[in-house]
Amino acid sequence: MQAKRILVVGGVAAGPSAASKAARVDPAAEVILFEKGGAISYGICELPYYISGEVMGEDLVVHTPESLHREKRVRVRLGSCVEEVVPHRRIVRVRDAETGSLAEEPYDRLILATGAQPKRLGVRGEEADNVFFLRSLSDGQRMRGFLERERPRGALIVGGGYIGMEMADALRSRGMGVTLLHRYDLPLPGFERGAREKARETLEAHGVEFVPEAEASHFDLRAPERVARVIASQGSYAAEVVLLSLGVSPNAELAESCGIRLGRHGGILVDQRQETSRDNIFAAGDCCEVKNLVTNRWIYAPLATIASRAGRTAGENAAGGRARFRGALRAVALRLFDMEFMRAGLCSAEAKDAGFRVVTEKVTTGSRVAAMPGGSDITVELIAEESTRRLLGANVYGGEGAVLRGNTLAVAIQHQMRIDDLQDWDLAYSPPFAPLWDPILIAANAARRRFG
């Protein structure tokens, strides 16, 4: 039998994960990864910390093409853009960026990991030298280069999702003034109102000017390649440097053009094996939608944790294995100055939208026993179904230990536990780490009383 040929399209997160796993599961297979850009296997999540200076550029890269080949037996072709998939012939057409030539590459199994692209305003000036997105290593390098070269005193961020938050922090830590325009009254959509208020308060406490209900509409240019002002729904803002963090949308054109089924968020739909609606074609990562483990509905959740898991699953199955990826909780963590924010499962709006009647309970308590110095406030908000008392979602935020506590609640959500299960939890206590009754337990007790 001839060795299997497994092609992977896309080299950032899910792609290298899938390729490495495929090569491990089927040591005889020929595994080739095509990346249209000039780098593979780097951390997008780390980009804000690279911009702040906390992380060095070389540390962003997990694998070079050489190390991926040496250590994982995956061949990498940079500057190789897969332009077309022809499923009935099991070939892809690959454009070489350098020569411009188009070559056919046959496959036995194909894995699409084409990622996502930043949403754009679609206005003149969006390609200016001082306007940035933060979606790739080269985006990050371009922005850091600009900041180091031109030393702007202030920045304008459009979009208050978690990348906007992290970047506000990063740019403040470079000593820059930061103005953040957000289309809603509070940042961090997807979190509960309490967390969002705390996020706004945290931004403002650290000198970020937060402008609510502001939709950026166009740019004033002072030169063809330089934006001078951002014009928004209710004002105009001078801008030495502009970051657009408006979210991302799946790169699913390649999949769509060969007849693969997409979902209502525009992402590729896959089964639990990460196989698409086309035989022998798998997909993983930010180009895909994912099943929400709470509602069993398709959501779009472009998160590295999901990309990595889904990538491994796709790689294993493309190589003949039998892995399953059941879905995700949209578990999100971020640091914002001296605060941690975490969410998992459904927010109450999502829960209502999915037909749940919910009860929420929010409790703020100390992160340590009162006598112990160094603690801070921590808030736990639980979202539970009224009829079953099942935990559907949680927000945890505060000065220390919020994210890791949130992960404990994520497990409870994933395992469909009830509020009543939580309060029986025997968690460890020691004064430096928690109050005698952990904030999670205090919130669970309060929620239980709320239910009566």
Which of the stretches 19-27, 142-150, 226-234, 418-426 binds its own copies when contact is defined by CB under 8 A? 418-426
User: Does position 188 bind its own copies by CB under 8 A?
Assistant: no
400 Cβ contact list (under 8 Å, min separation 6): 340, 367, 375, 376, 378
Pair of tokens at residue 12: 């950032």
Choose which of 45, 78, 228, 354 interacts with its own copies (CB under 8 A).
45
Q: Which of residues 194-253 bind its own copies (CB under 8 A)?
A: none
Residue of 319, 308, 317 whose CA lies nearest to 113: 308
- Kindly tell me which of 156 and 410 has the beta carbon lying closer to its own copies: 410
Which of the stretches 19-27, 55-63, 78-86, 268-276 binds its own copies when contact is defined by CB under 8 A? 55-63
User: Does position 189 bind its own copies by CB under 8 A?
Assistant: no
User: Does position 303 bind its own copies by CB under 8 A?
Assistant: yes
Measured from the CB of residue 178, what is the shortest distance to its own copies in angstroms? 19
Give DSSP secondary structure letters for 115-165: -EEE-----TTTTSTTEE--SSHHHHHHHHHHHHHH--SEEEEE--SHHHH
- Kindly tell me which of 247 and 431 has the beta carbon lying closer to its own copies: 431
Beta strands in 48-140 (DSSP E): 75-77, 80-86, 91-96, 102-106, 109-112, 116-118, 131-132
Choose which of 98, 424, 449, 452 interacts with its own copies (CB under 8 A).
424
3-state secondary structure of 391: strand
User: Does position 46 bind its own copies by CB under 8 A?
Assistant: yes
Give the C-alpha separation, 157 to 210, whole Å.
Answer: 10
Q: Which of residues 56-115 bind its own copies (CB under 8 A)?
A: 56, 59-60
- Kindly tell me which of 130 and 313 has the beta carbon lying closer to its own copies: 313
Give the C-alpha separation, 118 to 425, whole Å.
Answer: 42
User: Does position 333 bind its own copies by CB under 8 A?
Assistant: yes
Identity at 83, one-letter amino acid code? E
Q: Are 392 and 385 in contact (CB under 8 A)?
A: yes
Long-range contacts of residues 224-230, Cβ cutoff 8 Å, at least 24 apart: 224/128, 225/128, 225/129, 226/128, 226/129, 226/130, 227/125, 227/128, 227/130, 227/131, 230/156, 230/158, 230/181
Measured from the CB of residue 239, what is the shortest distance to its own copies in angstroms? 27
Choose which of 218, 335, 362, 389 interacts with its own copies (CB under 8 A).
335
Measured from the CB of residue 107, what is the shortest distance to its own copies in angstroms? 28
Give the C-alpha separation, 43 to 15, whole Å.
Answer: 13
Which of the stretches 64-72, 82-90, 260-268, 330-338 binds its own copies when contact is defined by CB under 8 A? 330-338
Binding footprint of its own copies on the chain (CB under 8 A): 43, 45-46, 49, 54-56, 59-60, 293, 303-306, 308-309, 326-329, 331-335, 340, 342-344, 369-373, 401, 403-408, 410-412, 414-415, 417, 421, 424-434, 436-438
